[in-house]
Chain A
Amino acid sequence: MKILYFAWLKTKLQMAGETLPWSEERADTDSLLQWMKSRGGAFADVFSNLDVIRVAVNQEYVTANTPLAEGDEVAFFPPVTGG
């Protein structure tokens, strides 16, 4: 799965993205968020308040728990501020 980070997530994690193999422990977006927190360090800090994190799977917003598949693109970012 391709994981992408934007805005202050990218700054704090010091990476624009990474590749993670699909796994049972992160088979849906809720589990993936919990797994991110469990990585500790900057990840625990960034994912500590999920109210300010938005999620997109394959470039579509998701607001409820969504199953993930190998090959999915998952993006994490703050509420948008364009326009």
Chain B
Amino acid sequence: MIRVQRKAFDIGAEIAAISAGRTDIGAIVSFTGLVRDINDGRKVTGLSLEHYPGMTEKELEKIEAEATRRWELQASLIIHRYGDLALGEPIVLVITASPHRQDAFEAAHFLMDWLKTKAPFWKSEITSNGETVWVDERQSDLAAAERWKETPSI
């Protein structure tokens, strides 16, 4: 399940919703990304997220489908916000549910590493001296995504 939205989300409510009415789920893992106050040495006072409506949803669906192919997932949820966000606000939520914890942990890790390099969102930071700075992609994010590349079996 994918949601791209402006408004904030309630992590507790989303986790409860994933297992509501089910007794076959053994493990639920969640990750929340928040707006942080320092980036690359700059003091950040706010964050703005632009996205590509249509392509954003398609890419997140592809990423989720890939996780479902690789791990045993009974349910998954990605919520990603766009628009103007204040410090401390949640940006992204990833939840995975599985009979066992290994698949839930790995799938959640994979979903975050892939969406950081594939989902068409662009962040701009408002800094403490009033400037707007476009955030650059990080080599560490590209390296993190590379880790999940499947090696073809010979």
Q: How far is the CB of A26 from chain B (nearest CB, A)?
A: 21
How extensive is the interface on chain A, given as a class? 10 to 19
Q: Number of residue pairs across A and B with beta carbons under 8 Å?
A: 67
**How many residues of chain B get a CB closer than 8 Å to chain A's CBs?**
27
- Is B6 close to A, CB under 8 A? no
Distance between A51 CB and nearest chain B CB, rounded to angstroms: 11
Q: Report A-chain residues with C-beta under 8 Å of the C-beta of B54.
A: 59
Task: For residue A74, give the distance in angstroms from its CB to the closest CB of chain B.
Answer: 12
Q: Which of A60, A77, A80 has most B Cβ within 10 Å?
A: A80
Q: Do most interface residues of chain B lie in helix, strand or loop, or is the interface mixed?
A: mixed
Identify which of B21-29, B65-73, B95-103, B118-126 touches chain A.
Answer: B118-126
Starting from the known contacts A80-B122, A81-B137, 16 additional A-B residue pairs (CB-CB under 8 Å) come to: A4-B52, A7-B50, A7-B134, A56-B52, A56-B55, A77-B120, A78-B134, A80-B116, A80-B117, A81-B122, A82-B115, A82-B116, A83-B33, A83-B80, A83-B115, A83-B119
